[in-house]
Amino acid sequence: MSNKSIAAAKTTVTRDVAKLDEETGNVYETVALLGKRANQISTRIKEELHTKLEEFAMTGENLEEVYENREQIEVSKHYERMPKPGALAIQELQEGKLYWRRGGEEAPAAEAEQPKA
């Protein structure tokens, strides 16, 4: 993920609850939906970060010999500056990029036609 493509707020923003539940019609359903999406985003970001930091891992590391790696610090700072997963989930909902369906509903025709692997 790059900071350039992320338009979500990096600080606390007061939101109008009436606007958040326009898509689902139920504020509680919206909160549950945003929570699940935030968990998905958080997991993906965490996996990305661990993959990038594995490059810097030293084998046979001695506790007395700790080296400061500028590249590793920059990677860590990049992820610290990113918006929180909850803000990203809200941004996706507001932009109409979030897809969900209620339990018991059938999949849309486009999904139903695709063969499952």
| pLDDT score of 38 | 95
- Give 33's contacts (C-beta < 8 A, 6+ positions apart): 24, 93, 98, 100
The CA-atom distances, in angstroms, between 47 and each of 1, 5, 43, 78 are: 12, 19, 6, 15
Task: Kindly report, residue by residue over 5-44, the tens digit of the pLDDT.
Answer: 566 777 778 888 888 888 888 899 999 999 999 999 999 9
Q: How many residues does the chain have?
A: 117
Task: Kindly report, residue by residue over 85-112, the tens digit of the pLDDT.
Answer: 999 999 999 888 888 887 776 766 555 5
Q: How many CB atoms lie within 10 A of CB 5?
A: 6
Residues 25, 114, 90: CA angle, nearest 5 degrees: 30
pTM over 0.75: no
Task: Kindly report, residue by residue over 45-84, the tens digit of the pLDDT.
Answer: 999 998 988 887 766 555 555 566 788 888 888 888 889 9
Backbone angles phi, psi at 87, to 5 degrees: -65, -35
d(CA 39, CA 50): 16
| pLDDT score of 88 | 92
